Structures are given as structure tokens and as C-alpha cells.
Amino acid sequence: MRGETEVLFHGVRGSAPTSGLAYAEFGGDTPAIEIRAPDARLFLDAGSGVRNAAAAARQGDIDLVLTHYHYDHLIGLPFFEPAWRQIGRLRVWAPVLEDRRPEDVLGAFFRAPYCPVGLSDFKMAAEILAFRPGDTLDVGGGVAVSTMLGAHPGGCAVLRMKTAAGDIVYASDIEAASAREAARLAMFARGADLLIIDSMNDDMTAPHRRGWGHSSWREAACVGAAAGARSIALFHHDPRADDDRLNRIDAEAQAFEPRAFLARQGSRAVLNSRGGGERRSLERRRATDDGDAANQVLSRRR
Ligand SMILES: [Zn+2]
């Protein structure tokens, strides 16, 4: 449908990939988001979850925007199938953080003995485009991406995607503990249809983790509420938090802020804009393995 944009959660776990039956519901792959707009295919971050997008992402032009270079957001990049089988072009938008050139940073990652593929091999498949947080990225396809520097050790880009179906803000790896930073984020996310935001901590862990560059679910929900976001996806889950714990947090967070929910790996959010954007809706659905049109509305939708 024209004006429909899908947001697919391929990886929602923070810091380190996690596996085991106790983590099966929320998933263990690290951050990777896919946005399918009518004329654009956009990926945000290349954590281990980006491998889950491979089958659906082989064709057409693709843009990948990296927010920063911590392992959990980059570890899937050598396994990102479009880089090797791409029929169209792959553009990788990479932030300049602490004045380091993205090519130098990625060159240190794509090199022996850490990786059998060198940066020159990768560049045969992908064009690397540097940006500075604050820049607006022209990814084409009717999608504009504005950016801002977030509070995180080493820096992190916060992204806002403007699509025909609505605005999506991606604020992973941000610490919204201070009133000033929370207000800055709320301003950037003002009126977003979907805010995807770091919520690695809970009330117990947050006080011990100040300066780590992550938020608690409560701090994240408050940013979303202050921004007037229509829906708030809590994201970047603690790698030690199993499904029982995350389900408890999900219930607590929704009681605290009804627009908030915990993102699950393999789920998707669909933004619709009908009648010139007057009637907007957001559905949460379970993703299908082959990436075909979603067919199952999550029963937990509220
Ligand atoms: Zn992270």
C-alpha cells in the first residue's frame, strides 16, 4: 500500500548476542532495524541481527546507517549478505565520531587477523559515506534522515527518518538520565509516530550504571511521553535479562506509559498514513521468515 512503512526488528538485544531458551521470546541478536518504505529500503545498525534480514534484502538499492562503532552494532556487517550479493547499490552511511574518519574505523575492523575480509574487498560492494551528527542524509526514496549526537561513550548518532507514513526516531545507545539530555532527546523526537529508544536498565541497575551511555525503561518512556511520541519501542535489552524479566518490565512499562512496549526480535511495526496523513495507525505484527507481507497481528497489541 502506498504510504505504508514497515519497521522490522531484526535484533533488539544490547551489548552482546545472547542465546538460550530463556531468551527465545525477545531474542538474542544485537541491534539491527530495517525500514521498508514504498520507495526506500533502509537499515539502521549492523548488529548480529542484520543477518536475519539477508533473504529479504538481496535486491534493489539499500542504504545502511550506522549510529556508532561499538561491537554490538557492527558485528553483523561482515555477514550482511547484500554487501556480497547485492544487485543494486549498497551505501553505508558512517558517522564521524571524536574526529575519527569512518574509513579508518571500519578499516581497523575489516582486517586480519580479526576478519578475513579487508576494507578494500568490502568497498568493492559498498560505498562508504561519512556524515557528522547534525547532518541530514539524503538516502533517496522519499525518506529524509536527520541526525543528532547522543550521549554515549565515544558518541552515537540519533536518527530521525521522515517517511510518507510517519516519522521514526531511532535513539539506541543514549543515556537520558539527566534532565537536560532527556529534554534534548524529547525535542529531537517531538511528535514522532514511533520512537525506538534505549532502555537497557531498570530501576535497580540504572543507579550503578551512570555514564555507561544507556537509559532505564522508565527514563526512556518519559522521553517518549515528553516528546508526544505516538508509540514507544523500548530497545537494546540487557543481555542478562531473560524473557521472564523482560515480560515483567514490559507489563510495568505499559502500566507506567501505555504507549510504551518492549521490542521483540522478529516483530514489526507498520505505519499507515491514509487520507493525506490525517488518519495514522500503527500496528505491531509478527514477522514472517521470508519477509513477505505480514499476516499476523500480534495479539498483544494494545
Ligand atoms: Zn549498543
How far away, in angstroms, is 280 Cα from ligand 1 center?
A: 31
**From 5-14, 93-102, 158-167, 286-295, the region with the lowest mean pLDDT:** 286-295
Q: Is the pLDDT of residue 139 over 50?
A: yes
Task: Give the whole-angstrom CA distance, residue 30 versus residue 72.
Answer: 6
Model confidence at 189, pLDDT cuts 50, 70, 90, reads very high
- Residue 274: what pLDDT? 58
Which three cell numbers mark 273?
A: 498514513
Give the global pTM: 0.91
The H or E element that residue 184 is part of is helix 179-188
Phi and psi torsions of 13, nearest 5°: -90, 145
Q: Is the pLDDT of residue 278 over 50?
A: no
**What's the mean per-residue pLDDT of the chain?**
88
How far away, in angstroms, is 76 Cα from ligand 1 center?
A: 13
How far away, in angstroms, is 127 Cα from ligand 1 center?
A: 24
How far away, in angstroms, is 82 Cα from ligand 1 center?
A: 23
User: What ranges do the domains of the chain cover?
Assistant: 5-286
Task: Give the whole-angstrom CA distance, residue 175 versus residue 231.
Answer: 19
Q: Is the pLDDT of residue 92 over 70?
A: yes
Closest CA to 212 of 263, 177, 170: 177
Burial class (CB in 10 A: 0-12, 13-18, 19+), 60: middle
How far away, in angstroms, is 75 Cα from ligand 1 center?
A: 11
CA-CA-CA-CA torsion for 242, 31, 98, 107, nearest 10 degrees? Answer: 120
How far away, in angstroms, is 240 Cα from ligand 1 center?
A: 14
The topology (CATH level 3) of 5-286 is Metallo-beta-lactamase; Chain A (3.60.15)
DSSP string, 92-143: EEEE-BTTB-HHHHHHHHSSTTT-SS-HHHHHHHEEEEEE-BTBEEE--TT-
How far away, in angstroms, is 33 Cα from ligand 1 center?
A: 13
- Evaluate whether 32 touches 47 at the Cβ level (below 8 Å): yes
How far away, in angstroms, is 288 Cα from ligand 1 center?
A: 26
How far away, in angstroms, is 160 Cα from ligand 1 center?
A: 18
How far away, in angstroms, is 139 Cα from ligand 1 center?
A: 23
How far away, in angstroms, is 276 Cα from ligand 1 center?
A: 36
Report how far apart, in Å, the C-alpha atoms of 55 and of each of 11, 38, 267, 295 are.
15, 19, 16, 18
Mean pLDDT for 39-68 is 86
How far away, in angstroms, is 173 Cα from ligand 1 center?
A: 5
Residues 222-247 pLDDT 10s? 999 999 999 999 999 999 999 999 99
Q: In this prediction, what percent of the chain has a pLDDT beyond 90?
A: 71
